[in-house]
């Protein structure tokens, strides 16, 4: 896509971009009250209309009348693999490399533990100090459990931190605060050159930018279902284990459904081959059904088109923000180069928390991450270019009118 943006980027120019947007039709697939400008799809995606029907059907028909037979007749038992393979298509993985299971946090634990057990000579996990908290906490816990070390360094020092002691490079591709995107190919190569494996957290990448795990020879990955993939609150996460590692690495949570034949009810664990061995317990069938609907829409739109629109949305938002919001004390914190950012723009402002709360009362939903980061997730499937114009205008009006100085916006309390 990438049409050149007009010099005069006004509301009409934004409407013209919407008129030319090849993904414009997908907006109507999501429930929308017509007034809220929702720029928080990076925290929780909108509800796909078809998910309502799917959940109703699964509850009434499958659960209600097929009952326990649903495990086979309705494909419940297969659903983590079937939907996993479809997520694989979105993230550049092969069939049999992705499983829907648990939360991202639990997936991180399982993958990190498996690597450190498989590489007893290497005792260090290299990561970034500003990584997402759960990634750091899980790494700290795993290190304590297995007697290893977490080497958390600044982004620019990652290359030098990799050495012969490194078992794993653990990174989140798109930074949750700034929206900055790592060079997955170069960092994976650097880790491999040091003899280490890589574990990428795709929570802010999948459904936002094009990802090519196989192409970059990524070893392991995790990601969550409820952000850009629109799986809904409590949506399960997924794990990716490259085919070449599936024999060597072992799931540390040896549950019955990861057994080669769970229904023998054998007393000895015998690991199932392939990604099946990464199952532990029963899959969250209803939640996987809802997630599948979100994946459907992404596959229909295509990850490349989604990534291209993300690049354009973020560029437009940054240009509007520089013109209208910089003079009001904001500063764009997201990289200018479209291949170095996700589908998110972050603006620093010293009074960001109060501003975002006041802006929410004017029907613009973004969020805030301390100390000063106002975050806007521009989910490509349902965000219009005119929404960006209107949002920037309302943010400017809040600050110009001093609304953020009012007492109700200044009290402590988090924006979720």
Say whether 155 is catalytic: no
Query: Which residues lie closer than 8 Å to 256 by C-beta, 6 or more apart?
Result: 262, 281
Q: Convert 303-346 into a string of H (helix), E (strand) and C (coil).
A: HHHHHHHHHHHHHHHHHHHHHHCHHHCCEECCCCCHHHECCEEE
The site map against ligand PLP for 217-246 (x = CB under 6 A) is: -------x------------x---------
Out of 135, 201, 292, 387, the active site residue is 201
Say whether 375 is catalytic: yes
Give the binding range for ligand PLP (CB under 6 A) out of 91-99, 127-135, 305-313, 362-370. 127-135
Strands 166-172 and 124-128: parallel
Extract the runs of DSSP E, i.e. beta strands, from 242-389. Answer: 331-332, 344-348, 364-365, 367-369, 373-377
Nearest approach in angstroms of CB 241 to ligand PLP is: 17
Q: Is 199 in the site for ligand PLP (CB under 6 A)?
A: no
Of residues 208 and 325, the one with the C-beta less far from ligand PLP: 208
Out of 26, 109, 132, 317, the active site residue is 132
Size of the site for ligand PLP (CB under 6 A): 13
Of residues 92 and 179, the one with the C-beta less far from ligand PLP: 179
Long-range contacts of range 281-285, CB-CB < 8 Å, 24 or more positions apart?
Answer: 281/255, 281/256, 281/257, 282/257, 283/76, 283/77, 283/79, 283/80, 283/100, 283/101, 283/236, 283/257, 284/234, 284/236, 285/58, 285/70, 285/76, 285/79
Nearest approach in angstroms of CB 34 to ligand PLP is: 28
Of residues 127 and 404, the one with the C-beta less far from ligand PLP: 127
Q: Is 203 in the site for ligand PLP (CB under 6 A)?
A: yes
Strands 364-365 and 37-38: parallel
Nearest approach in angstroms of CB 109 to ligand PLP is: 10
Q: Is 201 in the site for ligand PLP (CB under 6 A)?
A: yes
Out of 227, 276, 309, 357, the active site residue is 227
Say whether 49 is catalytic: no
Say whether 227 is catalytic: yes
Out of 26, 226, 238, 368, the active site residue is 226
Q: At what angle do helices 133-146 and 104-118 cross, to 10 degrees?
A: 40
Using CB under 6 A as the binding rule, the residues of this chain from 129 to 158 that contact ligand PLP are 132, 134-135
Q: Which neighbouring-strand residues pair with 364? A: 37
Please answer whether residues 284 and 79 qualify as being in contact, where contact means their C-beta atoms are separated by less than 8 angstroms: no
Of residues 132 and 385, the one with the C-beta less far from ligand PLP: 132
Nearest approach in angstroms of CB 134 to ligand PLP is: 5
Q: Which of 46, 204, 259, 375 binds ligand PLP (CB under 6 A)?
A: 204
Nearest approach in angstroms of CB 395 to ligand PLP is: 24
Q: Which of 127, 172, 251, 383 binds ligand PLP (CB under 6 A)?
A: 172
Query: Which residues lie closer than 8 Å to 8 by C-beta, 6 or more apart?
Result: none
Q: How far apart are CA 408 and CA 415, in angstroms?
A: 13
Say whether 238 is catalytic: no
Give the binding range for ligand PLP (CB under 6 A) out of 184-192, 200-208, 294-302, 396-404. 200-208
DSSP string across 59-127: IIIIIIIIGGGHHHHT-TTTHHHHHHHHHHHHHT--TTSEEE-S-HHHHHHHHHHHHHHH-TT--EEEE
Using CB under 6 A as the binding rule, the residues of this chain from 89 to 108 that contact ligand PLP are 103-105
Q: How far apart are CA 344 and CA 219, in angstroms?
A: 26
Out of 29, 177, 357, 375, the active site residue is 375
Using CB under 6 A as the binding rule, the residues of this chain from 243 to 302 that contact ligand PLP are none
Point out which residues bind ligand PLP (CB under 6 A). Answer: 103-105, 132, 134-135, 172, 176, 201, 203-204, 224, 237
Catalytic positions are 132, 201, 226-227, 375
């Amino acid at each position: 896509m990438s049409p050149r943006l007009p010099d005069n980027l006004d509301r009409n120019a934004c409407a013209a971009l919407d008129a030319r947007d090849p993904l414009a039709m997908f907006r109507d697939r999501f429930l929308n009250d017509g007034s809220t400008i929702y720029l928080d799809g990076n925290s929780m995606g909108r509800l796909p209309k078809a998910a309502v029907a799917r959940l109703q059907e699964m509850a009434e028909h499958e659960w209600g009348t097929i009952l326990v037979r649903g495990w086979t007749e309705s494909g419940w038992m297969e659903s983590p693999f079937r939907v996993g393979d479809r997520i694989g298509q979105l993230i550049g993985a092969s069939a049999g490399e992705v499983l829907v299971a648990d939360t991202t946090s639990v997936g991180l634990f399982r993958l990190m533990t498996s690597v450190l057990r498989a590489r007893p000579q290497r005792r260090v996990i290299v990561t970034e100090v500003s990584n997402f908290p759960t990634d750091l906490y899980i790494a700290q816990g795993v290190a304590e459990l297995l007697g290893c070390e977490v080497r958390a360094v600044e982004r620019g020092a990652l290359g030098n931190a990799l050495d012969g002691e490194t078992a794993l490079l653990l990174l989140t591709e798109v930074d949750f605060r700034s929206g900055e995107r790592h060079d997955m190919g170069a960092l994976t190569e650097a880790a491999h050159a040091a003899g280490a494996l890589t574990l990428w957290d795709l929570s802010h990448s999948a459904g936002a930018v094009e990802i090519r795990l196989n192409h970059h020879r990524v070893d392991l990955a995790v990601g969550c279902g409820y952000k850009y993939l629109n799986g809904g609150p409590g949506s399960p996460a997924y794990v990716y284990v490259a085919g070449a590692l599936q024999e060597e690495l072992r799931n540390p949570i040896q549950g019955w459904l990861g057994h080669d034949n769970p229904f023998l009810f054998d007393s000895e664990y015998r690991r199932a081959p392939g990604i099946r061995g990464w199952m532990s317990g029963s899959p969250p069938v209803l939640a996987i059904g809802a997630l599948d609907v979100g994946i459907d829409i992404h596959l229909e739109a295509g990850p490349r088109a989604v990534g291209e629109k993300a690049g354009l949305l973020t560029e437009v938002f940054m240009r509007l923000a520089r013109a209208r919001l910089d003079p009001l004390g904001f500063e764009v914190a997201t990289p200018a180069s479209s291949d170095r950012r996700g589908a998110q723009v972050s603006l620093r402002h010293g009074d960001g928390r109060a501003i975002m709360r006041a802006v929410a009362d004017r029907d613009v939903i973004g969020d805030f991450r301390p100390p000063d980061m106002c975050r806007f997730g521009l989910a490509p499937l349902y965000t219009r270019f005119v929404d960006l114009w209107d949002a920037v205008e309302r943010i400017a009006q809040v600050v110009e009118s001093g609304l953020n100085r009012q007492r109700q916006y200044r009290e402590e309390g988090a924006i979720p």
